[in-house]
Amino acid sequence: MAHLPVEKLKEKIICADCVSEEYLSAEIARDGTERVCDYCGERAQSYTLEELARRIGQAFDEHFTRTRSEPDGFEWAMQKDPELNYSWEREGEQTIYAIMNAADISEDAAGDIQTILADECGDLEMDQMGEEAPFAEDAHYEEIMPGDEEWQEGWRLFERTIKSEARFFSRTAAAQLSALFDDIDQLRTRANEALVVGAGPGTELRELYRARTFQSEDRLRAALMRPDRELGAPPSSIAAAGRMNAKGISTFYGATEPHIALAEVRPAVGSQVAITRFEIVRPLCLLDLNRLEQLSENGSIFDPGYARRLGRMMFLRKLTGRLSRPVMPDDQENEYLPTQAIADYLATEGKVPLDGIIFPSVQAGNEGVNVVLFQKASRTEEFKIPQGTVLSADTWSDTADGPERDYIVIEEVPPEQEKSAALSFCDPPAIDWTEWSGSDDDRRITLKVDLASIKVHIVEAVEFKTTEHTVKRHRWAKVDERDRPF
């Protein structure tokens, strides 16, 4: 049957019920005009074929590519080899069937759309040269994953801005981080897992381990006497810069296992490392960067924003590696700036309320998990001791064979005073059982030290896991430039 002229084809009507692709059908039902459909004869909300062809053309520009019309050199050689019995076939679907399956429309409608698009994209010069034009009848298309070039370029601009242009109050950085993270709680992995996970009572993540290295016996003894103060997040006045915090921003870095915490502090041989278990005593919301690699994005190729979301998905899948890659000590000040900016944004400016970030441990070969709790969620409960208590700690004990390592903490509590027989209801208690710390910290308590868990590791040796590469050396005679063949 002969096709109608293209201008007549453009005027044909197709209703929402004749387009089975869910997003596109809903769009026609919402934005279309009520008319009689040329394909089913029913009166319903509809588009003209010109309108539908435009939408399909846009989707194909972003989500499809034309496949090669000829075999490459290797395939051509295989085809010519009589022993291989190889027959080359073009990849993808013929244009009409690619359109039909993408929009889920009838073959008749897809053929009409193909004619319209081929006419609009036709090129006289390409025809004269014998080249295949877009949407040609014999062309083949296959669906592709949109690239993340936009997001890569945005990230490069973000890093350049943070490192060398405007470290503070950067609108460029804020815009990039907003685009990446403001709906992070809505994203899901392939297994339908949320990226924002819970921690604390009733969850799988109820405890964290923290390690601190000591070269001084005096400092170690002080930490053993008051681990709630010395082994938790440091005060802001002495907080050093880290992967997820700027200098002066107090955060709590912990690990899910003691050996991971030990690896993260990179202790020197001969040093002593105190490792403590901290209980998470209240519910927290954490962004799990480990799940980014499995991020998934569902949608329709006819959704104008879908290609950009797919690009973001591709970028975020790679982001964990960017944020957790090893950084050499000499480069830390500059290379940590992007991750510090991200943590600051998520902690204070992000639309999703987060208390911290879960990220892989590069020191443990990415086989372990670290957690950073933001300043607002890094307060440790101070344990209660009677006023006037004297604390002391020893790291050695004398034995018949000489001094041996032995870690002991002694609490000398004052004797309880006898209560006066005339003590009235309004009188204060004889002993104030809570030592006043002088702190005006109004943050909610998040962590509690398990005093029975404290262990000191003496570092006797350090093991390394490496990848070995041979250095190749070559020698050849110099060639005079005048003797070169071309």
- Residue pLDDT, tens place only, 92-102: 999 999 999 99
The pLDDT, as a whole number, for residue 370 is 93
The pLDDT, as a whole number, for residue 84 is 83
Query: Within 10 A of 165 (CB to CB), how many other CB atoms are there?
Result: 11
Host H or E run for residue 181: helix 171-181
Across the range 124-144, mean pLDDT stands at: 82
Beta bridge partners of 228: none
Residue 349 has pLDDT above 80, yes or no: yes
The pLDDT, as a whole number, for residue 328 is 65
Question: b or e along 290-312 (b: 16 or more beta carbons within 10 Å of the residue's beta carbon)?
Answer: bbbeebeeeebbbeeebbbbbbb
Angle at 317 between CA 314 and CA 323, to 5 degrees: 125
Residue 146 has pLDDT above 70, yes or no: yes
**pTM for this model (two decimals):** 0.80
The pLDDT, as a whole number, for residue 434 is 45
Q: How far apart are CA 52 and CA 49, in angstroms?
A: 5
The pLDDT, as a whole number, for residue 77 is 85
Confidence of residue 476 (pLDDT cuts 50, 70, 90): confident
CA dihedral of residues 122, 124, 129, 130 (deg, nearest 10):
40
pLDDT in tens, 164-187: 776 666 788 888 899 999 999 999
pLDDT in tens, 192-248: 999 999 999 999 999 999 999 999 999 999 999 999 999 999 988 888 888 888 889
Backbone phi, psi, residue 312, to 5°: -65, -40
pLDDT in tens, 359-387: 988 777 667 799 999 999 999 999 888 88
The pLDDT, as a whole number, for residue 329 is 66
Confidence of residue 292 (pLDDT cuts 50, 70, 90): very high
Q: How far apart are CA 143 and CA 141, in angstroms?
A: 7
Residue 395 has pLDDT above 50, yes or no: yes
Beta bridge partners of 251: none
